Amino acid sequence: MRVAVVLGTRPEIIKMSPLIRELKDRDIPYDVIHTGQHYDHEVSEIFFKELNLSPPEEHIGVGSGSQAEQTGKALMGLEKAYATLGSDIVLVQGDTNTVLAGALAAVKMDLKVGHVEAGLRSYDLRMPEEHNRRLTDHCSHHLFAPTEKSAEILRGEKVWGDIHVTGNTVIDACMQNMEIAQEKSRVDIPGEYVLVTAHRAENVDDRSVLKQFLDVFENIPGTKVYPIHPRAEKMFKHTGLYSKLKDITGMKLMKPQGYLEFLMLMKNARYILTDSGGIQEEATAPNIKKKVFVLRESTERPEAVDAGFAEVVGTNSDDILNAIDRFEQDGWKPEDCPYGDGRASERIVNIITG
């Protein structure tokens, strides 16, 4: 059996890194294929070096483009890569265009597909990711659900693949890499700070939403650390709001950070404002445990909400600031990590080799 591990974005590299290590440790033949969906070096290639991973065997230069262009280029490139490498089973993770293309190319070549982090749903049809994850779930042979709630969703949709509750590999990654981060991380923010990330198209492509975010940042006292994604920076500049963002008291804009640096930023933050899905999970890791205010109208991580880690606050500045005020006044006591014990990768490899 030869395993193809398909990656395209920063979160996929991080979440699949424990699986790659597990395959390597067991001497299971595998190849890493990088589609290049995140084509900026600072948000992609650097992660392979930081996580001590070998460079991908195949690199497909998907780059920028429309949703259809990215998916189509990835489909064509992955089909060729699977044939060249002699892949038998394809592992994809999450909900990106790379994931959908990786799964579709595989099933059309009669290869088995394993979907890591299956069964997540936001039920927000504005999000391209919602369509990607649903379609991938319904053409996968193995569905690796991070929680029982995700597994219940898959059963309710009557997917035809085998459902396995494994935990989430992101917890494996956080637990494996924190010690390395504490030794190697170059980021050092003195004193307390709030960590901010925002990059989703439905947020940063909307000038009215960006103005709401500016209002929030202006009304949060102290230091705000914002490792700004290239897309977000581009849209702040395009909408004429970038100078206002830079001039906010206490605002510290940074380039996108490496994974180890970002782990330390999360670990040492007072709380986190984000529209990211993965950060909602990472913040629940036993060695991080941070409150997350989700700058979206819905989340496909309800387990993080139920456990008290995440709170969906939308994009209206008053709603966001009111939620932060409640947190500051009432305190916070989260439950245990809802995404597993850090052994998801071990379980997944057991399943595909069993």
Catalytic residues: 199
Distance of CA 51 to the CA centre of its chain: 16
Strand 310-312 vs strand 193-197: parallel, antiparallel, or unpaired? unpaired
**What is the radius of gyration, based on Cα positions, of the chain?**
20
The rounded distance, in Å, linking the Cα atoms of 224 and 207 is 21
Nearest by Cα to 195 from 246, 267, 249: 267
DSSP sequence for 20-81: HHHHHHTT--EEEEE--SS-SGGGTHHHHHHTTPPPPSEE----S--HHHHHHHHHHHHHHH
Side chain identity at residue 301, one-letter code = R
Nearest by Cα to 56 from 37, 75, 76: 37
Buried b (16+ CB within 10 A) or exposed e, 141-156: bbbbbbbebbbebbee
The dihedral over CA atoms of 191, 193, 197, 202, expressed in degrees to the nearest 10, equals -160
CB-based contacts of 21, cutoff 8 Å, min separation 6: 176, 345
